[in-house]
Amino acid sequence: MKSISEILETRKWVKFEMLQQFDKCEVTLGDIMRGERATLGKTITDVRLELRLSKKYILAIESGDISAFRCLKFVPGYVRSYAHYLGLNPDQAFATFCIETGFSLGSEQQRNMRAWLLNYIHLLNGRFSIKVS
């Protein structure tokens, strides 16, 4: 039969092993946001109603799934707004979101703007003339 000190020593070792394994886990922005939301006692429905964000977008932010967003130009506002609501630094949260998901609005926005301008120029071509005097 084991003594109490042996049992306690075994438990300490098991706890130590568990903590070492826990330290190897990667914590994402979504994990932090879910944790903060739980700490505030808020459900996704609460967040949805207070921020007027769809449940789909809140879950997408927490899971780092950018494919869930229909229009990417609003993603920075969604992430920052949700972070601010949770009491997190909005800019830091968005930067972390970009790093974790590979999200980059700049290149997408530039491609869209270039395509829009080319289409606009094509539509205007021949509709008016410019006189230089």
Tell me which DSSP letter residue 12 carries. Answer: H
Whole-number Å distance between alpha carbons of 36 and 34: 6
For 45-84, write each residue's pLDDT tens digit. Answer: 999 999 999 999 999 999 999 999 998 889 999 999 999 9
CB 69 within 8 A of CB 75: yes
Whole-number Å distance between alpha carbons of 47 and 128: 51
pLDDT at 123: 65
Domain 29-124 has CATH 1.10.260.40: yes
Whole-number Å distance between alpha carbons of 73 and 63: 19
